Amino acid sequence: MSSARQGGMKRKRVPVKENLPVKEKKPRCEEEITSPNTSDERLPLSELSGIHINETVESRVFSVFTRCKKACPIPSTQNIDGNLLWKFYMRKDSECSEARSSYLFTSNPSIQPRMRSVLLEWLIEVCDVYKLHRETYFLAVDYLDRYLSVSEKISKNQLQLIGVTCLLIASKFEEIYPPKLSEFAYITDGSCSEEDILHTEILIVKAIDWKCTTITPDRWLSIFLQLLYIKEGDVTVLTKFSTKLYDTIARLLDLCSLDEGFLRFSYRILAATAFNLVCSKPSALVGWGMRSSDIKECSEWMRPFWHVLKEKCSVEPVSLNMKSLPPGPKPADYKHTLMKRNVSLDLLSSAQELAEVETTPGLLTPPSSSKSTGKPATPSTRD
């Protein structure tokens, strides 16, 4: 019996769509940036074209500039103010971190962490089948966590409906050709109707205050890797970093997203920690305005997940030579941005068991084994 079925969800077997063209993504634009005069005042993006950061007019100096005292790692060009862009990223990360709460299971007692894990594994499968991007998945995870964080007493029977609706919203923002509403209803095997999904969509976007653009862990990872590769005066927006390096780190983030501990850390810290575990390059943190102490707690939580990927999936650490970095992708090659079904509840359970052994005194570490039984772990998620 599948893990989703044990979690109370219905799923429809969908034939895998082969040889679909990879759709080129366009960067999203933020709709507005906070003005310094009042916390409620908003300045439309269309009015920002005439603003110069070096102006001495006090009303033109954004208050967001003072929120981060760390150095700006993004270089400025003729058309881009790196300082403005970095401070905007930092503000968005702070806002999103505050909107997600690890106490969502307390306010929704009928929903257990394992149920969230089952739901997210199913969303990964859906993304893989429909060739959706990894960014779409992480946006859906963000909407789900933020919605549950502000909700109370959500029934476990509503969880699949909420999850598939979050994926629908994320697809509208990220995908050029998102799946149709009827397809989202179809994959639930009749458990969720089109009317239910549309109604839930309104509830979710209202609950998250219509804030549907987020700097996800996947986006932060791309930013960090791009910063490693760009040189002074380089103005290209094409991907320059190694896609193999990206896939390895992104896979670790995929697995970590299934665990409830994912809610405890900001997306920027999660991406930086995953990079540091895979590459063992703490010196890169300095260039991103961070110190090793900033990711210490997250590293302790994430280390068992990385250990399991190395042991059970033969994932190898990446040794980076900053003078000779791995080559980047071919021009217009975006295959690495697609979501792949390369993590499972079985891997999650192994990582959680290892973490429990490491944090419980007096317990011996079980011997490692590379043998697989061929049967995925499908423990019940019911109360």
Which residue has better confidence, 96 or 345? 345
- Predicted confidence (pLDDT) per residue in 268-287, tens digit: 999 999 999 998 877 677 77
Distance (Å, whole) CA 269 – CA 215: 12
Q: The pTM is what? A: 0.75
- Predicted confidence (pLDDT) per residue in 180-213, tens digit: 999 999 999 888 999 999 999 999 999 999 999 9
Distance (Å, whole) CA 305 – CA 3: 20
State which amino acid sits at residue 60: R
What pLDDT, on the 0 to 100 scale, is given for residue 370?
43
Distance (Å, whole) CA 115 – CA 159: 8
**Ranges 62-71, 169-178, 361-370: which has the least confidence:** 62-71
Distance (Å, whole) CA 247 – CA 132: 15
The three-state secondary structure class of 368 is: coil
Q: Is the pLDDT of residue 49 over 60?
A: no
As given in the structure block, the two tokens for residue 57 are 């007019």
Mean pLDDT for the chain overall: 78
- The length of the chain in residues reads 383
Conformational region of residue 280, where left means phi above 0, alpha means psi within -120 to 50, and beta covers everything else: left
What pLDDT, on the 0 to 100 scale, is given for residue 59?
31
Q: DSSP string spanning 126-167?
A: HHHHTT-BHHHHHHHHHHHHHHHHH--S--GGGHHHHHHHHH
- Predicted confidence (pLDDT) per residue in 311-337, tens digit: 999 888 877 766 556 666 666 667 888
Collect all residues with Cβ–Cβ distance below 8 Å to 66 and sequence separation of at least 6. none
Distance (Å, whole) CA 202 – CA 165: 10
Decide: 14 and 165 in contact? Cβ < 8 Å: no
Collect all residues with Cβ–Cβ distance below 8 Å to 123 and sequence separation of at least 6. 137, 140, 141, 163, 164, 167
* Percent of the chain with pLDDT strictly greater than 90: 47
Q: Quickly count: other Cβ atoms within 10 Å of residue 304's Cβ.
A: 21
Distance (Å, whole) CA 111 – CA 102: 13
State which amino acid sits at residue 283: S
Q: Is the pLDDT of residue 30 over 50?
A: no
Distance (Å, whole) CA 310 – CA 317: 8
Q: Quickly count: other Cβ atoms within 10 Å of residue 157's Cβ.
A: 11
Decide: 241 and 202 in contact? Cβ < 8 Å: no
What are the helix (H) ranges across 100-241?
104-107, 113-129, 134-150, 159-174, 181-186, 194-207, 217-229
